[in-house]
Amino acid sequence: MTQFLKSREALLIAVIVALLALIASRFPAFIEPSNLSKVFNDTSPLILLAIGQTLVILTRCIDLSVAANLALTGMVCAMLNASMPGIPIPVILAIAVSMGAVMGAINGLLVWTLSIPPIVVTLGTMTIYRGIIFVISGGEWVNSHEMSAAFTGFPRAEVLGLPMLSWIAIIAVAMFLLVIARTPLGRAFYAVGGNPNAAVYTGLNVGRTQFWAFVISGTLAGLTGYLWVARYAVAYVDIAGGFELEVVAACVIGGISIAGGAGTILGTLLGALFLGIVKNALPVIGISPFWQLAISGSAIVIAVAFNARASRTKGRIILKRAEGTA
Amino acid sequence: MTDVARHIPDRLDSPAARLLKSWEVLLLAVAVAIFIANSLASPYFLNAWNLSDATFNFTEKAMIAFAMALLIISGEIDLSVASIIALASTAMGAAAQFDVGVVTLVLIGIGTGLICGAFNGVLVTGMGLPSIVVTIGTMSLFRGISYIVLGDQVYKGYPSAFAYFGQGYVWWVISFEFVLFAALAVIFGILLHKTNFGRAVYAIGNNPTGALFSGIRVRRVKFILFLLTGLMSGIAAICLTSRLGSTRPSIAFGWELEVVTMVVLGGVSILGGSGSIPGVVIAAFVMGLVTFGLGLLNVPGIVMSIFIGLLLIAVIALPRLWQMWRFW
């Protein structure tokens, strides 16, 4: 119990509660359940992508291509729906998930078999995926009137009072809480990130574990791609531009160490919620949305500084780097 | 891997053979091939003014790439360079509204770059944070400040003399930017390859602990490199702002990718410890020629970015594939 109180998660919960209290003191309507569920629904895409990113960062990698993956999958789904409105939603979902998985697998394969640094791979695939959207769409938009009602209705369909989009985020959180805690693959993510050398000696394939992290991250990005396009009922080249930074921000704020091997899904969830609340509160308290970018930037910097302070031991930094490069 | 010994040569290649096999010479061959392909593909390519225009595609990015090369060789990275351009340009734009002189504008541009570089440097070297996350953070922060200041507005009204930096010509088709690019290439070449500081940069990139134990002030050298990168971004901001004549918060969006691609294409190892300035110079020409040639063929910018992304991955993947194939 005392351990939990000292943890990053407890700190984040306290910060979020304080933030909500502060907003509520001026604008009580903000913390009404109906509004809070709206905020959660709005944050759901971020939560979905951040879960995938968490796994990738746990294995000492980073995936900057998630937003481009989301946009490309979203565009493909929208164009399929516009040209063949008869395709049932489960088929669209299957296409979205498998497209995302393939794009994640491309990242993963380049990292695994060619050991190219993940930052380079995903910076490259980020521009490639984004460029492909332009090539297939010719720069055209797919607008809401071209999409079928079933297509745009799915993420908004209410089940037990919450929209489908929120439920998918909740299911993903629950599923990956289990995967991380109870499956060999989940434990492997931590082992590989915590100490790759030791992981090899225990019989884990470091590259393959990283590959699976990328596949999961890509899969979630693909799934979110369809949900995003359907929810906003529009698809164009630049959707979710720069979203990858917000995703990394959510993870870093949630206490996922960029050095790998440390962090929890719960932390990521709270990090994403923090960003989501800030984003939704800005217009309410009358601050221009142009502040959003600078606020996430500062949040990343402050959170990284916090992470480092929490895990610092004397004289460790340099030695640790040397190990990492060896 | 048991018979690795078979593959270890018992003598080194002669210096001439090593030069021929070097990355720089290979890259030069690619540049020449692209040049020839371009002149065959478009009748407008071989024209002194067109070629001069083509240099604007890479001079500003290459200025940053020189400093970034040193930073990457030392084992760090700065992804905030494009955002530093945005912030420096915004600062200059704000100052220009008060009718300040050209010298003041230049000082403001350079000063903003240095401050941003110092901010990154303090976070990375002073607090021991990983540069990749810090600069992802400051990348949003710096551009975010530009958005707060400008929103959807635009700064114009730069003094007419300010246009010289981005639009002026020193002699015939030789632009001021190109001269600056060439001068900076020489300065950075000497700094990296002929000075103690340059040796220290390589030493740090290869083995930071070893460098520390051999008396190199690792943190100070890295801090100076972040300052340099900020400075070059500031200078690039002056050139770009002068060339465009206006400032929007989205200025130079996505340039960090192109700068890193240029550095990696130039043969600098992304893991640090190796690379050269001549390589980066040739890489700048290669990228400039590719984008200009595709532009002449009416290929849209976003499609060009596919080529750049592929180039980035292929440049790193091909040597590794080649090595895997040789050891099989």
pLDDT digits (tens), chain B, 328 positions = 455 566 666 777 777 777 777 788 888 888 888 888 888 887 877 788 888 888 888 999 999 999 999 999 999 999 999 999 999 999 999 999 898 889 999 999 999 999 999 999 999 998 888 898 899 889 989 999 999 999 888 998 888 888 888 888 888 888 999 999 999 999 999 999 999 999 999 999 999 999 999 999 999 999 999 999 999 999 999 999 999 999 999 898 888 888 988 998 898 988 888 999 999 999 999 888 888 888 888 888 788 888 888 888 887 888 788 878 876 6
Q: Tell if the CB–CB gap between B147 and A119 is shorter than 8 Å.
A: no
Instruction: Decide if A274 contacts A15 (C-beta within 8 A).
Output: yes
B302 touches chain A (CB under 8 A): yes
**Considering only alpha carbons, which residue of chain A is nearest residue B324?**
A114
Instruction: Decide if B273 contacts B75 (C-beta within 8 A).
Output: yes
Residue whose tokens read 């959707």 = A239
Q: Tell if the CB–CB gap between B312 and A318 is shorter than 8 Å.
A: no
Residue whose tokens read 């890295």 = B222
Nearest to B147 among A126, A294, A299 (CB): A294
B86 touches chain A (CB under 8 A): no
Mutate to test the interface with A, among B248, B302, B320 (most CBs of A within 10 A): B302
**Considering only alpha carbons, which residue of chain A is nearest residue B256?**
A123
Could you tell me how many CB contacts below 8 A there are between chain A and chain B?
A: 155
Bridge partners of residue B169, in order along the sequence? B175
* H/E run at residue B280: helix B277-296
If contacts are CB pairs under 8 Å, which of residues 22-61 in chain A contact chain B? none
d(CA A12, CA A14): 5
d(CA A208, CA B296): 43
Coil, helix or strand at residue A148:
coil
Q: Tell if the CB–CB gap between A318 and B218 is shorter than 8 Å.
A: yes
CA distances from B100 to A12, A28, B107, B157, B159 (A): 46, 47, 11, 11, 8
Residue A76: both structure tokens together: 């493909």
Confidence (pTM): 0.85
Nearest to B209 among A120, A131, A322 (CB): A322
The domains located in chain B, with CATH, are 45-327 (1.10.3470)
If contacts are CB pairs under 8 Å, which of residues 181-210 in chain B contact chain A? 207-209
Q: Could you report the predicted ipTM of this complex, rounded to two decimals? A: 0.81
Chain B positions in Cβ-Cβ contact with residue A128 (cut-off 8 Å): 305-306, 309-310, 313
| B318 burial type by CB count under 10 A (0-12 exposed, 13-18 middle, 19+ buried) | exposed
Cα dihedral A245, A249, A250, A252 sign: positive
The domains located in chain A, with CATH, are 40-309 (1.10.3470)
B122 touches chain A (CB under 8 A): no
